[in-house]
Structure 1
Amino acid sequence: MKNSTSSTKELSAEEQEGLLTILEKRFEKNRKRHENLEWSKIETKLKSNPEKLWSLNEMERTGGEPDITGYDEKTSEYLFYDCSAESPKDRRSICYDFEGQESRKEHKPENNAVDMALSMGIELLTEEQYQELQQLGNFDAKTSSWIQTPAEIRKLGGALFADFRYDHVFVYHNGAQSYYAARGFRGVLKV
């Protein structure tokens, strides 16, 4: 999907239809992620939330392969997670947040995970959400993904990331200013 040039963060009718086709095919191909959900209800909700479609397009455009991973009964929202096998390719080589990015003396990356997610209209996965995602398959076997970091850790200069190695999910820490070619971030969008 291309990046919509509209400043209103809305897709054209053609872009919407193209994205909905991709999402429906992924939905059908990966039924185990959402066995009790119906595409027609999801599609109706998506069509009535054009700004959410724009965010899903951003997830898709940057390599996230968003798919529905559940439904929150309390909030009546569908949950879309980045379900690409590895951390989304166009969201790698970034620091955790702007403060970490700015603290680098040299070789500053162009962006950071927190600001990218915000600009896309999504949130970084929490540790709990990352664990839930790993129940649906093996993700980040060769890469890692920044995840939401508790304020008390971030205040001390750290940030959390996670990956899947040796048949286990690992959550680690690093300085928020660090960045690696194989580390990006995964997001969640609630619709």
Structure 2
Amino acid sequence: MTKNQLSPEQQNELVETLSGRFEKNMHRHEDLTWSDIQKKLESSPEKLWSLHEMERTGGEPDVVGYDQSTDEFIFYDCSAESPKGRRSVCYDREALEARKKHKPENNAIDMADDMGITLLTESQYRSLQELDEVDLKTSSWVQTPADIRERGGALFCDRRYGHVFVYHNGASSYYSARGFRGSLKV
């Protein structure tokens, strides 16, 4: 087995977990059927590995849509709070390297790349919030436009007072209650 490959037992366990979550949360994917998704998963071991990483770090990935143009199912981290295994990270490597003291262990962009996923965009984050109210106590980094990042900033989102908020912060900041949510197409 290579680094980014699951054993048959791990694959079966993950597919069972994803199937159970799919059935319990039909409001996220009313027009989709699990058998179609399972076929895609079984033919994509590298994507299963990425989903395993999403699960392992607390993301509770679930199907939230289907992209007809690419024939791919879309998974988002659907955990109630920002995934616990991905918190206390700054935005990207540049921000991490810019810190002189108290550097976090990692950054959101590199972690997502290592997992084979991408950070949610602001639009994707808002669509997730339409499915479930998440990040009531935490916040999540989202993809930041280049012009904001060039000025040293980064964006994050959360839900407070019944509304979804988008904020800015220095990209090198990190907090125990801020992580990131990812997406993956299978």
Shift of residue 74 of structure 1?
A: 1.5
Identify the residue that residue 61 of structure 2 maps to in structure 1: 66
Structure 2: runs of 5+ lacking an equivalent: none
Identify the residue that residue 40 of structure 1 maps to in structure 2: 35
Identify the residue that residue 137 of structure 1 maps to in structure 2: 132
- C-alpha distance in structure 2 between counterparts of 1:190 and 1:51, whole Å: 11
- C-alpha distance in structure 2 between counterparts of 1:58 and 1:77, whole Å: 19
Aligned pairs, how many? 186
Task: Establish whether residue 9 from structure 1 lines up as the match of residue 4 from structure 2.
Answer: yes
Q: 2:88 aligned to 93, 98, 104, which one?
A: 93
- C-alpha distance in structure 2 between counterparts of 1:88 and 1:8, whole Å: 22
Task: Establish whether residue 84 from structure 1 lines up as the match of residue 79 from structure 2.
Answer: yes
Identify the residue that residue 112 of structure 2 maps to in structure 1: 117
| Other structure's SS at 1:19 match | helix
Shift of residue 21 of structure 1?
A: 0.3
| Other structure's SS at 2:82 match | coil
- C-alpha distance in structure 2 between counterparts of 1:8 and 1:120, whole Å: 11
TM-score (norm 1): 0.96
Shift of residue 67 of structure 1?
A: 0.2
Q: 1:155 aligned to 150, 154, 158, which one?
A: 150
* More moved, 67-76 vs 12-21: 67-76
Shift of residue 8 of structure 1?
A: 4.0
- C-alpha distance in structure 2 between counterparts of 1:119 and 1:87, whole Å: 18
Deviation readout 1:32-77 (Å, 9 max, x if unpaired): 0000100001000000000000000000000000000011112111
- C-alpha distance in structure 1 between counterparts of 2:168 and 2:71, whole Å: 33
Identify the residue that residue 29 of structure 1 maps to in structure 2: 24
CA RMSD of aligned residues (A): 0.7
For 1:63, the aligned partner's letter is G
Structure 1: runs of 5+ lacking an equivalent: 1-5
- C-alpha distance in structure 2 between counterparts of 1:7 and 1:156, whole Å: 39
Identify the residue that residue 107 of structure 1 maps to in structure 2: 102
- C-alpha distance in structure 1 between counterparts of 2:124 and 2:154, whole Å: 16
Shift of residue 7 of structure 1?
A: 3.4
Kindly report structure 1 stretches of 4+ aligned residues shifted beyond 6 Å: none
